[in-house]
Amino acid sequence: MSPKSSAFMILFVVSLIAAAGNMGLQSVLPAIGREFRLSDTLVAGAFAISALMWTVTSPFWARLSDTLGRKKVILIGLMGFVLSMTGFGLAATSGIEGWLGVVLAFTLMATARTIYGVFGSAAPIASQAYVADRTRPEERTQAMSLLASAQGLGTVIGPVLAPFFILPFVGLAGPMYVFALLGLIVLAVVWRMLPSGDVVRTPSPSGRQGDVGKGLWRDPRVRDFLLYGLLVTGAQAVNISVLGFHIIDEMASTGLEARQAQPFIGVAMFAGAAATLMVQWGLIPLLKLQPRALMRWGAGLALLGNLMSIAAPGYFGVVVGYAVVSMGVGFARPGFTAGSSLAVGAHEQGAVAGLMMSLAGLSFLGPPVMGVALYEVAEAAPFVANAVLLAFAVALAFMSRTLQFDPNPLETDTPSPETPPASQPGPEGNR
């Protein structure tokens, strides 16, 4: 699959909209929590439910994409995204305008986020497996990096656009309505235009597709990729969850209220996302880095960013530290994603995609709650905890025999270049 193909561009936009909507919500969530006069830790804790559901359902969507087909699972994921964003917006508006009590409105918001947790992983898992199906091993690192960069671009667009959608009639919930509408448009494009019947099925060795990937998390081929990814994404989740509250408090010292601090949160998120894009669109293709180097640079830069946040407090220190962390994650994520994909066979691509995608749920399950709780104790505490996690990730990247080895594409369990790539259960039609 060429990155210039229409199919790849559609998948790129799917990831873009999902990331933009999620980060747009993240950018206004602290202000909504302060409007409701809720504890920062309570706000973070309530939304850990969606992360739990993401983690639990990711393997299910991975297996379903192997049997039902990638395109259908992408459509299911997009429908869940639209429903979640719409429900969250309605609940937030009802609470802010006083139509519902704060407790009921916040409960409905958490319920809408839980819907996102159930369905949110479906589209990115199926998209990653779709690309893996249609790329040769030697092309996969660059393809995965480019697909991952859609999430980086989405994290730029979401927080930057969110303040413009905070309008008198819809208030802080405005961004959710806009991203729900955009998600509905993308869903229609996928339904009408994404090809899905051009890949030959490669059955599992046992002949039972449902057995593929069971217990893969214990497999020594991917175990260290999983641990490394959990450390890095967990630290990133802490940075993201603390960022809004941190900036609101920094700007409060200048006399600005929480809602007035929203553009400053957008600038900080824009800086982080731009740093990620610089890495994934510029440095990785230019330097042609392979998974081993990506993971080493990634963990090292993320560690440096958190140390900078400790040493240089204040708004500009927050922005620069977050940008350096984001650069690190920009290296690390395609590193462990592509590395784990190359480490397994063609028939396991859906399973490993689901396993790596479950990290997004695991990382937002406990770390954000603990990070925000630590922040309420001391400003520097979450960054100190992150530094410990990332120091371990750096050590793992250099010492793990699995992560030190860059898999040779010619030695992996994949078809030859003349053979159509792996694993779709059969044609779904031309749409």
Q: Each residue of 369-384: pLDDT tens digit?
A: 899 999 989 999 999 9
pLDDT digits 0-9 by tens, 123-168: 888 888 888 888 877 677 678 778 877 876 776 678 778 877 887 7
Residue 171, sorted as left (phi over 0), alpha (psi -120 to 50) or beta, turns out to be left
- The lowest-confidence range among 43-57, 278-292, 301-315 is 43-57
* CB-CB contact of 176 with 88 (8 Å): yes
pLDDT of 32 over the 50 cut: yes
pLDDT of residue 205: 39
- Threshold 0.95, pTM exceeds: no
Give the chain's largest Cα–Cα span.
66
Share of the chain above pLDDT 70, in %: 84
**In this structure, what token pair is assigned to residue 420?**
């159509």
- The lowest-confidence range among 17-26, 257-266, 391-400 is 257-266
3-class SS string, 94-125: HHHCCCCCHHHHHHHHHHHHHHHHHHCCHHHH
pLDDT of residue 390: 96
State which of 42-46, 194-198, 249-253 shows the largest mean pLDDT: 249-253
- The residue among 380, 363, 364, 265 whose CA lies nearest residue 45 is 364
pLDDT of 203 over the 60 cut: no
Residue count of the chain? 431
pLDDT of residue 214: 56
pLDDT band at 1 (very low <50, low <70, confident <90, very high): low
pLDDT digits 0-9 by tens, 73-119: 999 999 999 999 999 999 999 988 889 898 899 999 989 989 988 99
**Could you give the CA distance from residue 431 to residue 429 in angstroms, rounded to a whole number?**
6
pLDDT of 201 over the 50 cut: no
Share of the chain above pLDDT 90, in %: 27
Question: What value does the mean pLDDT take over residues 329-353?
Answer: 78
Backbone phi, psi, residue 171, to 5°: 60, -145
Who's near 258: CB < 8 A, 6+ residues apart?
A: 30, 31, 34, 35, 248, 252
pLDDT of residue 410: 41
